């Protein structure tokens, strides 16, 4: 028969016990993680959200409690009354390893069937099984720590934003569809049959209403919904820090976000200097082949198109050729180089060429078409050193208005950094490299819609000098948008908003919206 909680009240978390608690009487509650029966002594590991504590049931001291402990199995829910004592031999593997609790009473609050997998950090269960038994998976220390960290980060963000003069405002979840980067989730209206609400992709319109209402500084830990294909960094619903400021320049926004990020990083024990690095979008593409560059390591790109020009017809490529020097890549085997070429084609390369930089010579099949001198210059342009592998990539002319060869070479840069173990090296994996990306194009070409579409959203401000190009050369128009990137991951994006109605109308017309559609 199960016990009831009655008037029993927990005094401590099991995982919070330390040597300072020695001699104290405690009441602990949690789950049985492990049980070891040594005859007169039964040991269990009691688990709660703070960690593990060892509980001892001594037959000589409390026969009835010991007998009850013999029935315990993994994941039973129990309450323990007892006294904290020093262990005979400390366990340095756990935070509570200096002490244990000698039980004087055991209350079995619930039993458990044998779980489908052991509740430990390292498990072999499939993702499907873990999701089916999510409540068991979340009992593990790692997911618990992740949720605790998330709480601490959000709390620090709220405190920081409040101290910087921002008000937290909750905006409506049921709204009308607005043109953004994905499809909307629709909710049918009971009151208005045949009509639908849209779940917000972001609180875009509402926060702009708050700004023109004079609120000045707003933030929200906002839930957003986007109907798009799943990826590792894309989910149907997610949470974001949403911020809006009045009368602000990009530098004002950067200063606020940098302070928030510095405080957030301290939660995980990391100090990052500010101001963060700044980089133009075109320079990020040219140097790293990405609009979210990972700056923890080198291997920068070099445009070597002029050195390939004499053999353009022979090599049968169009567009540009970009190259990089893969640190230590000269040791790759012929088979590995063939696999590398297949990977480049999968990324969109028309052709990939390699140059091995050895101590004695620089070797490449390119010498037959370009000559030894040109091959040497390509290696020098890529900054290759002895032991490096130069990878040169040719691709189609453009992808969404950006040099395709640069983008493919940028993907090869990341692939090689992973393959050669560069990303796993301590000098890279322990670094935090923030960078602000600015100078984005306002539009990008949609091959599916056969028209120019906003690269970010249709309310993004325009660099004033480019206003005259809006109708005549939209591909040259620069936006006042910006992205914050950390270690090759886009953390967030933003922009200065358009505040002139005539400019906003021109933007809507440029993306194919009529004046009537825009007013809706």
Residue 214 has pLDDT above 80, yes or no: yes
Q: Give the separation between CA 321 and CA 372, rounded to whole angstroms.
A: 18
Closest CA to 432 of 485, 395, 507, 480: 485
Per residue in 390-427, pLDDT (tens digit) is: 999 998 766 555 688 999 999 999 999 999 999 999 99
- Token pair recorded at residue 106: 């055991």
Q: Give the separation between CA 330 and CA 212, rounded to whole angstroms.
A: 59
Per residue in 127-175, pLDDT (tens digit) is: 999 999 999 999 999 999 999 999 999 999 999 999 999 999 999 999 9
Task: Provide the H-helix boundaries in 168-294.
Answer: 204-212, 250-267, 281-288
β-partners of residue 441 are 478
Q: What is the pLDDT of residue 310?
A: 85
Q: What is the pLDDT of residue 397?
A: 67
Q: pLDDT category, 493, cuts 50, 70, 90? A: very high
Q: Give the separation between CA 83 and CA 53, rounded to whole angstroms.
A: 12
Q: Cβ distance 487 to 431 under 8 Å?
A: yes
What average pLDDT does the chain have? 93
- Token pair recorded at residue 156: 């620090």
The CATH number given to 297-430 is 3.30.1360.30
β-partners of residue 218 are 167, 244
Q: Tell me what percent of the residues of the chain surpass a pLDDT of 70.
A: 98
β-partners of residue 399 are 402
User: At how many degrees (to 10) do helices 404-419 and 281-288 cross?
Assistant: 60
Q: Cβ distance 402 to 289 under 8 Å?
A: no
Closest CA to 157 of 53, 256, 66: 256
Q: What is the pLDDT of residue 520?
A: 65
Neighbouring residues of 135: CB distance < 8 A, sequence distance ≥ 6:
none
DSSP character at residue 275: S
Per residue in 450-472, pLDDT (tens digit) is: 888 888 878 899 999 999 998 88
Sheet of 167-168, strand order: 167-168, 217-225, 237-245
Q: Give the separation between CA 400 and CA 387, rounded to whole angstroms.
A: 36
Using CA atoms, how far residue 221 sits from 167, 169, 239, 245, 260, in Å, is 11, 9, 7, 15, 13
Q: Give the separation between CA 339 and CA 444, rounded to whole angstroms.
A: 32
- Domain(s) labelled CATH 3.30.930.10 in the chain stretch across 143-267
Minimum mean pLDDT range among 27-36, 225-234, 374-383: 225-234
Strand 321-326 to strand 389-395: parallel, antiparallel, or no bridges (unpaired)? antiparallel
Q: What is the pLDDT of residue 118?
A: 93
- Domain(s) labelled CATH 3.30.1360.30 in the chain stretch across 297-430
- C-alpha 314: how far from chain center: 43
Superfamily of domain covering 143-267: Bira Bifunctional Protein; Domain 2 (3.30.930.10)
Q: What is the pLDDT of residue 515?
A: 76
Q: Cβ distance 370 to 310 under 8 Å?
A: yes
Please tell me whether residue 176 adopts helix, strand or coil conformation: coil
Closest CA to 403 of 516, 495, 485, 282: 282
Neighbouring residues of 300: CB distance < 8 A, sequence distance ≥ 6:
287, 288, 324, 383
Q: What is the pLDDT of residue 399?
A: 57
Q: What is the pLDDT of residue 398?
A: 62
Q: Give the separation between CA 497 and CA 209, rounded to whole angstroms.
A: 12
Residue 348: phi, psi to the nearest 5? 115, 10
Beta strands of 358-408 (E only): which ranges? 362-363, 389-395, 398-399, 402-403
Minimum mean pLDDT range among 221-235, 337-351, 487-501: 221-235
Exposure letters 136-145 (e unless 16+ CB within 10 A, then b): bbebbbeebe
Please tell me whether residue 359 adopts helix, strand or coil conformation: coil
Residue 171: phi, psi to the nearest 5? -105, 160
Per residue in 29-56, pLDDT (tens digit) is: 999 999 999 999 999 999 999 999 999 9
Q: Cβ distance 67 to 94 under 8 Å?
A: no
- Domain(s) labelled CATH 2.40.50.140 in the chain stretch across 14-110
Q: What is the pLDDT of residue 179?
A: 66
The dihedral region occupied by 128, where left means phi > 0, alpha psi between -120 and 50, and beta the remainder, is alpha
User: For the whole model, what pTM was predicted?
Assistant: 0.88
- C-alpha 462: how far from chain center: 29
What is 14-110's CATH number, 3.20.20.140, 2.40.50.140, 1.20.1250.20, 1.10.10.10?
2.40.50.140
Closest CA to 436 of 273, 252, 275, 246: 275
């Amino acid at each position: 028969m199960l016990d009831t909680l009655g008037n029993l009240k927990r005094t401590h978390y099991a995982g919070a016990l330390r040597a300072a608690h020695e001699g104290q009487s405690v009441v602990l509650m949690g789950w049985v993680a492990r049980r070891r029966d040594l005859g007169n002594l039964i040991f269990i590991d009691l688990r709660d959200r703070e960690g593990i504590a060892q509980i001892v049931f001594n037959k000589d001291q409390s026969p009835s409690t010991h007998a009850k402990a013999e029935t315990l199995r993994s994941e039973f829910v129990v309450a323990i009354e007892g006294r904290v004592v020093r262990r005979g031999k400390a366990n340095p593997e756990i935070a509570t390893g200096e002490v244990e609790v000698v039980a004087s009473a055991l209350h079995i609050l619930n039993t458990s069937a044998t779980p489908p997998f052991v509740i430990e950090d390292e498990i072999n269960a499939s993702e499907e099984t873990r999701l089916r038994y999510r409540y068991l998976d979340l009992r593990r220390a790692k997911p618990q720590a992740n949720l605790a960290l998330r709480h601490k980060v959000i709390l620090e963000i709220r405190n920081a934003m409040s101290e910087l003069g921002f008000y937290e405002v909750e905006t409506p979840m049921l709204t009308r569809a607005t043109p953004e980067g994905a499809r909307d989730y629709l909710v049918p209206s009971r009151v208005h049959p045949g009509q639908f609400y849209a779940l917000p992709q972001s609180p875009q319109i509402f926060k702009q209403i708050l700004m023109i209402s004079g609120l000045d500084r707003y933030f929200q830990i906002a839930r957003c919904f986007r109907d798009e294909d799943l990826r590792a960094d894309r989910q149907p619903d997610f949470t974001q820090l949403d911020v809006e400021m009045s009368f602000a320049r990009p530098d004002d926004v950067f200063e606020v976000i940098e302070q928030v990020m510095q405080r957030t990083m301290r939660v995980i024990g990391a100090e990052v200097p500010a101001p963060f690095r700044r980089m133009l979008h075109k320079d990020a593409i040219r140097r790293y082949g990405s609009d979210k560059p990972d700056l923890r390591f080198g291997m920068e790109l070099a445009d070597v198109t002029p050195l390939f020009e004499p053999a353009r017809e022979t090599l049968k490529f169009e567009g540009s050729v970009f190259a990089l020097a893969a640190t230590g890549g000269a040791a790759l085997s012929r088979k590995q180089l063939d696999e590398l070429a297949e990977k480049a084609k999968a990324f969109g390369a028309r052709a990939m060429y390699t140059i091995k930089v050895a101590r004695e010579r620089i070797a490449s099949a390119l010498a037959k078409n370009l000559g030894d001198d040109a091959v040497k210059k390509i290696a020098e342009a890529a900054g290759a050193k002895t032991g490096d592998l130069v990878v040169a990539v040719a691709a189609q002319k453009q992808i969404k208005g950006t040099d395709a060869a640069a983008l493919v070479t940028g993907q090869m840069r990341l692939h090689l950094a992973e393959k050669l173990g560069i990303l796993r090296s301590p000098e890279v994996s322990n670094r935090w490299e923030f960078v602000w990306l600015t100078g984005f194009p306002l539009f990008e070409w949609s091959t599916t819609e056969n028209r120019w579409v906003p690269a970010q959203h249709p309310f993004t401000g325009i660099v004033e000098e480019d206003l005259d190009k809006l109708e005549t050369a939209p591909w040259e128009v620069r936006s006042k948008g910006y992205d914050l990137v950390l270690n090759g991951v886009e953390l967030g994006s933003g922009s200065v908003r358009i505040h002139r109605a005539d400019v906003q109308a021109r933007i809507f017309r440029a993306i194919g919206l009529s004046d009537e559609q825009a007013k809706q």
